[in-house]
Amino acid sequence: MNNVVELNDIGMKYQSLNGEIPALEHISLKVRQGEFVSIVGPSGCGKSTLLSIVSGLLRPTSGSVFVESEKVMGPSKKIGYMLQKDHLFDWRTITQNVLLGLEIQKAVTPEAKEYAERLLVTYGLSEFGHKYPSQLSGGMRQRAALIRTLVTNPQILLLDEAFSALDYQTRLAVNDDIYAIIKKENKTAIMVTHDIAESISMADRVIVLTRRPGTVKSCHTIIFGLDKRTPLKSRKVPEFQTYFEQIWKELDVHV
């Protein structure tokens, strides 16, 4: 079986003082090994809730989640989570930040340290290992945050609006960067964003969610006639605009 993630009829209701808040309904989704799936939907439709459920941090009210054929009952080492804020600690150097996940897992071995060092070298941060986060640009910080996530060697990466704190130019560059790293390391990725262009430029498949309670509205397989696809190149081909207009209409962003 090559479905790495499988969601079966997921539903989520939050309890609040004013009663139940239905956040998600009837979400089913299969993600293959190495696939990059992005999920777009209006603000508050349940995107973050969905990723938290995949990560095992949040238990759905109904339905089940499987990661590599195992039922998800709680957080697992197979999953790496990247958030909007890079959450690098200012008082730790980049190397110390990158090793944080391993320290938490009590897994700082010489091999793991070597792997961390190799990732820093491969992705252009080797000279910054002794620097502090404040000495790095926004794009470099985001790369360091991804390396920290990769060091524990998760098979699946979850990205929650991971680039939205960056300015537009930086974000385009970081999209390319992170995309290349994820593909090179052969990871499976699920990214949620409200940015349609970002979702199309990076994903093999875009899932559109409805307003809350989020349900799957549509699913688009993204194919560009490009030799070597990168997010930046994708944005420049004619098909990009076609996908964009279609998804834009479906998202119904008018308020």
Residue 3 vs 84, nearer CB to Mg ion? 84
d(CA 45, CA 23): 7
> From ligand ADP, Mg ion, none, which one binds at residue 43 (CB under 5 to 8 Å depending on kind)?
ligand ADP
Pick what 181 binds: ligand ADP, Mg ion, none; C-beta below 5 to 8 Å, kind-dependent.
none
Q: Which option in ligand ADP, Mg ion, none does residue 124 bind, with CB closer than 5 to 8 A by kind?
A: none
Residues within the interface to ligand ADP (CB under 6 A): 14, 16, 21, 23, 41, 43-49, 212
180 binds, among Mg ion, ligand ADP, none (CB under 5 to 8 A by kind): none
Nearest distance in Å: CB 155, Mg ion? 23
| Minimum distance of ligand ADP from residue 49's CB (angstroms) | 3
105 vs 218 by CB, closer to ligand ADP: 218
Give least dist CB 213 to Mg ion, A.
15
Of 16 and 186, which has the nearer Cβ to ligand ADP? 16
In whole angstroms, the minimum distance from the beta carbon of 25 to ligand ADP comes to: 12
Work out how close the CB of 213 gets to ligand ADP at its nearest, in angstroms, rounded to a whole number. Answer: 8
Q: Is 170 in the site for Mg ion (CB under 5 A)?
A: no
Query: Using CB distances below 5 to 8 A depending on partner kind, what does residue 212 bind out of Mg ion, ligand ADP, none?
Result: ligand ADP
| DSSP letters for 11-76 | EEEEEETTEEEEEEEEEEEEEETT-EEEEE--TTSSHHHHHHHHHTSS--SEEEEEETTEE--S--
Is residue 111 classed exposed, middle or buried when 0-12, 13-18 and 19+ CB atoms within 10 A define those classes?
A: exposed
Distance CA 255, CA 8 (A): 31
212 HSE (CA, 13 A, CB side)? 15
Question: Binding of Mg ion at residue 84 (CB under 5 A)?
Answer: no
Beta partners for 20?
15
Helix (H/G/I), strand (E/B), else coil: 167: coil
66: Cβ–Cβ under 8 A, 6 or more apart, which residues? 3, 5, 6, 8, 72
CB of 49 to Mg ion, least distance (A): 8
User: Which residue, judged by CB position, is nearest to Mg ion in the bound state?
Assistant: 48
CB closer to Mg ion out of 51 and 102: 51
Q: How many CB atoms lie within 10 A of CB 23?
A: 23
Is 48 a binding residue for Mg ion by CB under 5 A? The answer is: yes
Nearest to 30 by CA among 9, 54, 48, 4: 4
